[in-house]
Amino acid sequence: MITVVGIGEDGFSGLSPAAARIIKQAGIIFGGKRHLSMLPNNISAQQCPWISPFNDNLALIGNCRAQNPVVLASGDPMYFGVGNTLVNHFGFENIAIFPAPSSINLACARTGWALAECDVITLHGRRPENLRACLRPRGKIIALSHDGTTPALAAVMLYDAGYGDSNITVCERLGGDHEKITTKTAREWQNHAVGHETDNLIDPLNVILIDLVADATATLLPLGPGLPNDAFIHDGMITKSEIRAQTISSLGPWKGAVLWDIGAGCGSISIEWMRLGGQAVAIERDGKRCDMIAKNATRLGTPDMILHHASIDHAINMAKTAADPQHFPAPDAIFIGGGITTPNLMEQCRDILSTHGRLVANTVTLEGEQKLFRFYNKFGGTLSRLTVSRLAARGNFTGWHNLAPVTHYVGVKS
């Protein structure tokens, strides 16, 4: 067995008797230098600090399986922790876990926040713009920091988004002798940015609690679907908000589901999918539009989107060969917003979908409609005509202006 022991700032003395006994009987112990330094001097096990890159440690742990290795982790190893990595790699049947209270549990205990009412995210190794997807009046966010600069970076982002009056509570080294809790507004926390107040640095081990307050300059956006068109930078090639709302609904997003957005344009479909909890791979052959997608993803809280400046043929080939699963993960849904007349595109997209995968395509051209109709006759699904009319000026009067009708295909692979 591989045993994972969560350890807090209170060190070895804070462990349960069972966890302490496991460590005392261990033959080899893996962990960060900080965690290993918490062990008492009478521990006889060989101690192995983590090496970089982290995945190289998995082979070392696997080679020591006969010694029943122990892995030290921060707090709860299964909450944004190393426990998830080990379970995915070795299988849960080979892992025993002894959790300690996580820093998030301790932060809620110190501040009286109800964890169930908060959006919990991690910014460890991720960009602070991920916070933007959680912005809403009276919302509460708990974020795991990357290091001591994260609170200031988050404060700058909040201020720029019109949330400068939000209270940010930074909890440092919770559960230990050096515990510290500080609350200031986002406007005030900006002074802790790089180059300012260097005599009052934040400890790298910190958790950020944000009590959101929107001011008059804030742009309030729903999670979606159907964000306003002007929420995106675009060159006119954008799935309009009413059509986008129906398209997202047809794609059927769920938490963790992977979308391939082919001919992504300005990225509106991918971004809304991610704001609803999914992962997205945006594929666009136009370099200028790729730049727009990247900017939109940052502005709207989805900077972790996978963006490929690539042809459709290249993306399909990567999927078929499974050559790069990290950058081309297998799709649960595919949306074709551009390139619908590419020969055999619909068939190839259907081939790479797994069972229950959803294929959705939109077109405004007769040629594209003919492609969809032939595909519909062969594989089934549903075809719809979506029309939108908007009020517009007609001289001194007003009337309805009809947007180009959209032919909308939805198919589920069975």
Question: What CATH number should be reported for the domain whose range is 105-211?
Answer: 3.30.950.10
pLDDT in tens, the chain (414 residues): 899 999 999 999 999 999 999 999 999 999 999 999 999 999 999 999 999 999 999 999 999 988 889 999 999 999 989 999 999 999 999 999 999 999 999 999 999 999 999 999 999 988 889 999 999 999 999 999 999 999 999 999 999 999 999 999 999 999 989 999 999 999 998 866 544 544 468 999 999 999 999 999 999 998 879 999 999 999 988 999 999 999 999 999 999 999 999 999 999 999 999 999 999 999 999 999 999 999 999 999 999 999 999 988 888 888 777 767 888 999 999 999 988 999 999 999 999 998 999 999 999 999 999 999 999 999 999 999 999 999 999 999 999 999 999 999 999 998
**Residue limits of CATH 3.40.1010.10 in the chain:** 2-100
pTM, two decimals, is 0.88
120 and 142 Cβ atoms separated by less than 8 Å:
yes
Q: Which fold has domain 229-412?
A: Rossmann fold (3.40.50)
**Residue limits of CATH 3.40.50.150 in the chain:** 229-412
**Cα–Cα distance, 142 to 210 (Å, whole number):** 6
If phi over 0 gives left and psi between -120 and 50 gives alpha, with beta otherwise, what is residue 265?
Answer: left
Q: Decide if domain 2-100 falls under CATH 3.30.465.10.
A: no
SS3 at position 375: helix
**Cα–Cα distance, 68 to 62 (Å, whole number):** 10
Give the burial string for 251-261 (b: 16+ CB within 10 Å, else e).
bbbeeebbbbb
**Residue limits of CATH 3.30.950.10 in the chain:** 105-211
Token pair, residue 374, equals: 């032939």
